[in-house]
Amino acid sequence: MYRILIADDEGIVTDSLQYIIKKHFGDECQTVIAKNGRQAIETAESFRPDIALLDIQMPGLNGLKALEEIRGQNPRIKTLMLTAYDNFDYAKEALRLGAVDYLMKPINKKVLTERLTGLMRTIDQERKKRRDDLLVREKMEAVVPIIEDGFINSLIIQNEYEDSGEKYRTLLNIEEDYGIILALEWGSGRDGAGMGNPVGSGIRAHKYSRKMEELVKVYFKACVGNIMGNKMICVIPYGSPRLEYESRLHMIEKARSLVASLKQVVGVDFKAGIGSVRPWDTMFDSYEEALNALRHGKRNVTHIDDLIVKDTLEEQRQAMERVVLRTVRGGMEHDARREAAVFAGWLLKNQASSFEEMRMQLAELFLLAGRMVQDQGNRRPESQEGLSGILGAREGEELRQRFVAAMAELARTVVIRNEEPDGIITRAQEYIRQNFTRDLALEEVAQAVEISPYYFSKLFKEGAGMNFTEYLTGLRIEAAKKLLMNRDLSIKQVCIDSGYANPNYFSRIFKKWTGITPTEFRDRVFQEH
């Protein structure tokens, strides 16, 4: 459909133009008439024409003035000027104002239809381009968060940036040569160095993850990573190697506003830690600083340059060790890997002792974690390989990598213990039964039982005999069957009460599982009774 505005003070001209358009293009075109320039402008505001045929000589505002106003409100409009005067100045002014062409009166029918056909072809091409652009933008909306999370992981996992970081930067069109890590943490009040109830708060935040990401981007031009436990890591590209004092104050104020907004949306307390400006290939240092600002900052927002740590290095070391041990004890391999990397990096950078002494400290912490895992009732960890790896390291980076791998392996040992029938599978199934009526993701259930989603997926399938999605769908279909026996409930209400938001999708899944639609199921039930 093409909307065409015809503006001319001569009725015979407007009638002729309408007749030609109707005869040649039929229902493809909708036309409206204006008798003067003022009417043309007012009509264009409400009608939003694709094409305008404007007479240059009209009473009051002439066609050129009308063209100028109309194109101001609708720059995409295609305009043909109509004139009885072969005046080059008119033609030149019309083209300057954005007219596509001008036609001499009396209008030649063939010339008019050819011009209109060409304009319609151009409009079709522009519409297709807009559709294609919107489709690309829609796809990018889905892909960008994945790319951003990959970029952040390449920065906060030491020595990963050189492998993939530059590719991510190119995909995200990041031109700045430096960046700053902003770490967000949430929970119920303070609990020592961290936030209280991190698991429950982390589960709650998953429901608001998209909104949290949007809020971060309201306050900062930032890349936002996926939720990790009760933390979210953001990267703020920066154009200068140094953050000046005034800029630092401005960034802190924006972070405070962000933290307040997040608390209002999610309903739990938030903190933010900000690292220093770093080149991309050393962004791990900014990440480490942001985590330290979180742990030692007494306010809701702490920049590493404002952090006055009154603890001694020994007290800092002990606090970081406790964090590492807590992640291992919970069987949280991903968190254990991250915290072990941060602690080992901090130890290598801040301790004045020799390399041999640091190697022994990490070995002792590994043995302590192993005894703790065993005391929890787990099978005795196979610790000799991890210990020999730590003791066999010959330089700092090798030591850090081996320590991280050894602690992650211990966390996996805790996961294996939970394969017992009365362990993780039972707790997970109970959690799913209590929450299947709402939008429930595997990641949320994994966090509820305090293990990584990857291992939860494997263990659940082995323990339950089916994967997470099959188990969840089975519960929902059984619930739907019971609800369908209640005549007072509509199919839409049954759909919602069974955990589905879309009735059409619910009907497809129900039929896939039972062989019949929900309506057919209900009819059969009441026929039998």
Q: What is the per-residue burial (b if ≥16 Cβ within 10 Å, else e) of 47-56?
A: bebbbbbbbb
pLDDT greater at residue 132 or residue 49: 49
Taking the C-alpha atoms of residue 226 and residue 146, their distance in angstroms, rounded to an integer, is: 9
Please report, for residues 16, 113, 220, 352, 372, the alpha-carbon distance to residue 145 in angstroms, rounded to integers and kept in the order given.
Answer: 56, 49, 15, 41, 38
Name, in order, each residue with C-beta under 8 angstroms of 391's C-beta and a sequence gap of 6 or more: 359, 363
Hunting for tokens 């004890």 — which residue is that? 329
Per the CB < 8 A criterion, the answer to whether 459 and 466 are in contact is no
Hunting for tokens 């062409």 — which residue is that? 101
Where does the pLDDT of residue 251 fall: very low under 50, low under 70, confident under 90, or very high at 90 and above?
very high
pLDDT of residue 419: 47
pLDDT greater at residue 308 or residue 318: 318
Ordered DSSP codes for 111-166: HHHHHHHHHHHHHHHHHHHHHHHHHHHHHHHHHHHHHHHHHHHHHHSTT-HHHHHH
Is the pLDDT score of 418 beyond 70?
no
The 3-state secondary structure of 5-17 reads EEECCCHHHHHHH
pLDDT greater at residue 373 or residue 43: 43
Hunting for tokens 């319609």 — which residue is that? 120
Taking the C-alpha atoms of residue 445 and residue 460, their distance in angstroms, rounded to an integer, is: 11
| Closest by CA position to 505, among listed 467, 475, 476 | 476
Please report, for residues 36, 41, 79, the alpha-carbon distance to residue 55 in angstroms, rounded to integers and kept in the order given.
Answer: 9, 13, 11
Name, in order, each residue with C-beta under 8 angstroms of 235's C-beta and a sequence gap of 6 or more: 151, 152, 155, 179, 180, 181, 182, 222, 223, 225, 283
Per the CB < 8 A criterion, the answer to whether 399 and 362 are in contact is yes
Taking the C-alpha atoms of residue 472 and residue 499, their distance in angstroms, rounded to an integer, is: 10
Relative to beta strand 223-224, strand 178-187 is: unpaired
pTM attached to this predicted model: 0.48
Q: Which two tokens stand for residue 316?
A: 């800092």
Where does the pLDDT of residue 421 fall: very low under 50, low under 70, confident under 90, or very high at 90 and above?
very low
Q: Around 252, how many Cα atoms within 13 Å sit in the side-chain half-sphere?
A: 20
Q: Which two tokens stand for residue 371?
A: 């005894």
Per the CB < 8 A criterion, the answer to whether 323 and 191 are in contact is no
Name, in order, each residue with C-beta under 8 angstroms of 81's C-beta and a sequence gap of 6 or more: 54, 55, 56, 63, 64, 67, 90, 91, 94, 99, 101, 102, 103
Per the CB < 8 A criterion, the answer to whether 327 and 339 are in contact is yes
pLDDT greater at residue 461 or residue 6: 6
Per the CB < 8 A criterion, the answer to whether 396 and 348 are in contact is yes
In the DSSP assignment, the letter for residue 306 is: G
Per the CB < 8 A criterion, the answer to whether 390 and 403 are in contact is yes
| Closest by CA position to 350, among listed 398, 317, 302 | 317
Compute φ and ψ for 341, nearest 5 degrees: -65, -45
Taking the C-alpha atoms of residue 467 and residue 235, their distance in angstroms, rounded to an integer, is: 35
pLDDT of residue 35: 92
Where does the pLDDT of residue 197 fall: very low under 50, low under 70, confident under 90, or very high at 90 and above?
confident
Per the CB < 8 A criterion, the answer to whether 264 and 234 are in contact is no
**Tell me: the pLDDT tens digits for 84-119?**
776 667 777 878 888 888 888 888 899 999 999 999
Is the pLDDT score of 438 beyond 50?
yes
pLDDT of residue 86: 67
pLDDT greater at residue 318 or residue 378: 318
Per the CB < 8 A criterion, the answer to whether 417 and 378 are in contact is yes
**Tell me: the pLDDT tens digits for 497-509?**
988 888 888 898 8
Ordered DSSP codes for 9-45: S-HHHHHHHHHHHHHHHGGGEEEEEESSHHHHHHHHH
- For residue 279, the one-letter residue type is P
**Tell me: the pLDDT tens digits for 149-183?**
889 888 887 666 777 788 888 888 899 999 999 99
pLDDT of residue 272: 94
What percentage of the chain reaches a pLDDT higher than 70?
Answer: 90
Span 76-89, average pLDDT:
81
The 3-state secondary structure of 395-409 reads CHHHHHHHHHHHHHH
If one counts every other C-beta atom within 10 angstroms of the C-beta of residue 293, the result is 27
Name, in order, each residue with C-beta under 8 angstroms of 387's C-beta and a sequence gap of 6 or more: 363, 366, 367, 406
Quote helix, strand, coil % in the chain, to nearest 5. 65, 10, 25
What angle do helix axes 37-47 and 63-73 make, rounded to 10 degrees?
20
**Tell me: the pLDDT tens digits for 13-25?**
999 999 999 999 9
Per the CB < 8 A criterion, the answer to whether 180 and 276 are in contact is yes
In the DSSP assignment, the letter for residue 311 is: S
Rg (CA), the chain: 33
